[in-house]
Chains A and B, each alone.
Chain A
């Protein structure tokens, strides 16, 4: 165990390990690119959908079941399926990651919207605000904490799952995990896993920091 950890230490800190196209710096950048782009696309799809369902109250059944469906969908199967359909392209990776992230975003946005006090919405309407003003200036800000929770959850899952890109011959930190598995090189697998977990934790902390910054004026 001790030997494994010292080997891991030297693997993570070796300068040769960090440079080049298969170096940690480049793999890290690829991993971030897959994860952030997928989460961004998922937000562009999930956020309006969650807001719409929460605002109109229609399609709540869809929102709740979408979450269940998203959790049940096996990512490996989805990646392979899209890969067989589209050939060697980035589609399998992005489709699988977006499919993973959308349900978490939709359900949390919806939950945030339903948690908004109906009296507050009534008051806003009573003051003559239009529907879109109520949505954007009242409901959205009040629902934002839960929306952010959904985004953070989605991002963590996407970062951990972006590992799978390496299975269909792409890069990212998953390269180390899959190459290590093929070569029975445990240090490499462990190094990849530690890096992925670190990326997830750092991004989560960054988002929670952003959240705290956005709500710095709000008193509990």
Chain B
């Protein structure tokens, strides 16, 4: 179980390409997941009967093994990046939807009443009052979804994609640990870096949180 350093230095270009492709898949999935879960969360937040249904549905999607999701998407989108992104997006939904609903729930009723009393229209209240106040909880979900997606991309290696996951199949088939170790470490590093960036983003997006501290 020794690391072959010459392999690493000989493959820096490949490793960069794989890491970028890996991150692209994960981040696209999180963005798509946000685009889908934001409106759904608003609906789940306002229409009580739909809330249990939507959250329950996303929970069930979460129980399906990721490899099966990728394979089952094959007849629809084939051996492409699209399949990877759709599969990952499905998994981000459970976290993003739940956190966004909880975030909207956490906005004090008085704040919303104050907005209404000032004559703010519902859509504007949602965009300028509720969503900003829900942001910390939503961002917590985005962070979890991002880290989870980055780790899950490698499963798509079974359908010929998978970014850094390709290093795992490569190492497995050749009985050669170096690419596997490098792949695991680069995945962890990418996740840590993405998470740190999101913390910074949240800091920038919530200036009112800073003044109090």
Chain A interface category by residue count: 35 or more
In the complex, the answer to whether A201 meets B60 with C-beta atoms within 8 Å is yes
Given contacts A160-B66, A186-B75, A193-B64, contact A74 B187 (CB under 8 A): yes
User: Which residues of A have CB within 8 Å of B183?
Assistant: 74, 77
Indicate whether A50 reaches chain B with its CB closer than 8 angstroms.
Answer: no
Binds A, one of B34-42, B103-111, B150-158: B150-158
In the complex, the answer to whether A77 meets B147 with C-beta atoms within 8 Å is no
In the complex, the answer to whether B181 meets A81 with C-beta atoms within 8 Å is yes
User: Which residues of B have CB within 8 Å of A196?
Assistant: 63-65, 68
Binds B, one of A13-21, A64-72, A124-132, A212-220: A64-72
In the complex, the answer to whether A73 meets B64 with C-beta atoms within 8 Å is no
CA distance A13 to B154 in the complex (A): 33
Write the nearest CB–CB distance from A88 to chain B, whole angstroms. 12
In the complex, the answer to whether B180 meets A80 with C-beta atoms within 8 Å is yes
User: Which residues of A have CB within 8 Å of B60?
Assistant: 197, 201
Given contacts A76-B154, A160-B64, A197-B63, contact A84 B72 (CB under 8 A): no
In the complex, the answer to whether B62 meets A163 with C-beta atoms within 8 Å is no
B152-167 interface mask toward A, CB cutoff 8 Å, 1 = contact, 0 = none?
Answer: 1011011100001101
In the complex, the answer to whether A71 meets B63 with C-beta atoms within 8 Å is no
Question: Residues on B close to A: CB < 8 A?
Answer: 1, 60, 62-69, 71-72, 74-75, 144, 147-148, 150-152, 154-155, 157-159, 164-165, 167-169, 171-172, 175-177, 180-181, 183-184, 187-188, 191-192, 195
Question: Residues on A close to B: CB < 8 A?
Answer: 68-69, 71-78, 80-81, 83-85, 156, 159-161, 163-164, 167, 174, 177-178, 180-181, 186, 189-190, 192-193, 196-197, 200-201, 204
Q: List 9 A-B contacts (CB under 8 A).
A: A73-B184, A73-B188, A80-B169, A80-B171, A180-B71, A186-B75, A192-B65, A193-B65, A197-B64
